[in-house]
Amino acid sequence: MATVTEAVGNVTESDLIARAVEIVDQARRAGASDAEVILREGDEFEAQVRMGELETLKNSGSRGIGLRVFLEGAGGTHVASTSSSDLSAKGIRYLISGALQLARISSPDPMQGLPEAASFGRIEGDLGLYYEDVYSMPVPERIEHARRAEAAALAVDPRIRNSDGGSFDAATGHRVLANSRGFASSYRSSYCGLSTSPIATGTSGEMQRDYWYSSARSISKLATPESIGLEAARRTLRRLDGRKVPTQQVPIVFPPEIARSILGSMAEAVNGDSIYRGASFLTGKLGEQVAASTITIIDDGTLPGLFGTTPFDGDGLPTRRTVLIENGILKSYLLNTYTARKLGLASTGSAVRGLSGNPGIGSHNLYLPAGNQTPEQILAGVTSGFYVTELLGRGINMVTGDYSRGAAGLWIENGELTYAVQEITIAGNLKDIFKNITDIGNDLEFRSSTASPTLRIDGMMIAGA
């Protein structure tokens, strides 16, 4: 049995694993050919301050259990799932009988079933996912941090007169996965975050809001409230007095916090679930040129301390590093066990398991490695163009690649950022967008689980006045 205790563990850790294994055994005794249990415990804290006054305090914890049972039948495996917040003996019995009853009505599917025992495992060693210190600050000090971040933003400029507040939040979680083929393991994770969202008023009376944040797994790695407030204020002020620009085609520069959403679209396009059913424009494109030859995109679940890191995926497979695109060539899809079987490929350890249903697919730490141009050098190469600071809506069609979203930002003139632009859209097709990435910045930073340096993309249409 691949039972492993975390570097940072305690007594309840192994208790919870034992409980999950017990429920798996109970489901097998009740008639399941195979069974899989996920147990989740978590707690959260949130303090919100607005205009210097405490507005909201929230503090609670909860837990949940999800069960999947498998029944071998003629023509394949039946599967069904149940979930609940009731971990009592009676609740568990109900969970098991319900799942078995449901499984009998599902269709036999030859591709369904738990992974082979040999594929289970976890990344060993301390991955830096859990720090007890996220709750170490006394509550009044957490409130004070939120207040200081907001106050720093409000103090920057008289045009900042209102605020959507400052907030401090923290959470810890404990996740256990166990199945009847011998996998049983768990990990803890922690999170804390500090943010503020100031509101500025422009010359016409129009208001603009932006925000900035810091988040970390340990409180010691959180940025200072003052630095967050200053950055939030800078971002808000630069949006003031925006105008619409005429409809035209110009180069568009995506700073890291916006460029990462383009990478997110790529992860969606290589999602095995869309690939095997032909619902992605990248279906069948393995080995083909799908991006500019300078583009490499990697998904890595093993990088210590990062937000997308986990020791194992939702199927119980160890996470790994997967090169999705290398020098513009599509090298791999993102696959869980089921979609890998459908496509006749190996899983990339990308299963994402919620409490209910079958595992989905997601990226871990998805990134585009840094290039060698500074953001300033990239801007300097643009005579007339658009620098995006906000994208609105989800106008992306993964089947066709059509991409059309609302945007706000700054106009680039002769390599310099000038006036604010708003109420426009940017549009193109993802098939072309990745091929038209002309510049890659050197400013890669893992502020969240998807990270990109600054990118310049040519050939997209701006619709405005």
Partner 1 sequence: MIERCLGEALSAGGDYADLYFESVAATSLGVDESLIKSASQGVSAGCGIRVLSGERTGYAYTDDLSAEPLLRAARTAALIASGPAKQPVMDLTGGLKDTGRPQLYPAPAVELDPDLSAKLALVMRADRAARAYDPRITEVRASYHDEVRRILVAASDGTYESDTQPLARLNVFVLAKDDGKTARGTSGGGGRVEIDFFHDEKTPEYFAAEASRQALLQLNAVAAPAGEMEVVLGPGWPGVLLHEAVGHGLEADFNRKGTSAFAGLIGQKVASSKVTVVDNGTLPSRRGSLHVDDEGAATQDTMLIENGVLKGYMTDKLSARLMKMPHTGNGRRESYQQIPMPRMTNTYMLAGEDEPEDIIRSVKRGLYAVNFGGGSVDITSGKFVFSASEAYLIEDGRITAPVRDATLIGNGPEALKYVSMVGHDLALDEGVGTCGKQGQSVPVGVGMPTIKLDRMTVGGTGK
Nearest distance from C-beta of residue 347 to partner 1, angstroms:
18
Site for partner 1 in 219-258 (CB under 8 A): 239, 242, 244, 247
With binding defined as CB under 8 A, does residue 117 bind partner 1? no
The phi, psi pair for 71, rounded to 5°, reads -125, 120
With binding defined as CB under 8 A, does residue 208 bind partner 1? yes
Report whether 191 contacts 215 (CB < 8 A).
yes
Task: Report the chain's terminal Cα–Cα distance, integer Å.
Answer: 64
- For the chain, state the CA radius of gyration: 24
- Look-up: residue for tokens 């520069």? 253
With binding defined as CB under 8 A, does residue 102 bind partner 1? yes
* 3-state class (DSSP) for residue 187: strand
Judged by CB under 8 A, the residue of 271, 310, 322, 425 near partner 1 is 425
**Count of residues touching partner 1 (by CB under 8 A):** 74
Window contacting partner 1 (CB under 8 A); options: 199-207, 304-312, 325-333, 366-374: 199-207
Nearest distance from C-beta of residue 49 to partner 1, angstroms:
10
With binding defined as CB under 8 A, does residue 358 bind partner 1? yes
Pairing assessment for the beta strands 184-201 and 207-209 based on DSSP bridges: antiparallel
Nearest distance from C-beta of residue 173 to partner 1, angstroms:
14
Give ∠ CA 189-193-197 in degrees, rounded to 5: 155
Report whether 410 contacts 238 (CB < 8 A).
yes
Nearest distance from C-beta of residue 93 to partner 1, angstroms:
13
Judged by CB under 8 A, the residue of 125, 304, 369, 393 near partner 1 is 393
Judged by CB under 8 A, the residue of 25, 109, 157, 241 near partner 1 is 109
What's the CA gap between 41 and 270, in Å, rounded? Answer: 31
Of 60 and 203, the one with the shorter C-beta distance to partner 1 is: 60
Report whether 330 contacts 358 (CB < 8 A).
no
Pairing assessment for the beta strands 297-300 and 160-179 based on DSSP bridges: unpaired
Of 131 and 281, the one with the shorter C-beta distance to partner 1 is: 281
Judged by CB under 8 A, the residue of 12, 62, 327, 418 near partner 1 is 62
Judged by CB under 8 A, the residue of 3, 14, 84, 442 near partner 1 is 84
With binding defined as CB under 8 A, does residue 418 bind partner 1? no
- CB atoms under 10 Å from CB of 330, counted, come to 22
Judged by CB under 8 A, the residue of 294, 327, 374, 400 near partner 1 is 400
With binding defined as CB under 8 A, does residue 137 bind partner 1? no
Of 81 and 365, the one with the shorter C-beta distance to partner 1 is: 81
- CB atoms under 10 Å from CB of 285, counted, come to 17
What's the CA gap between 309 and 318, in Å, rounded? Answer: 11
- CB atoms under 10 Å from CB of 392, counted, come to 12
Nearest distance from C-beta of residue 397 to partner 1, angstroms:
5
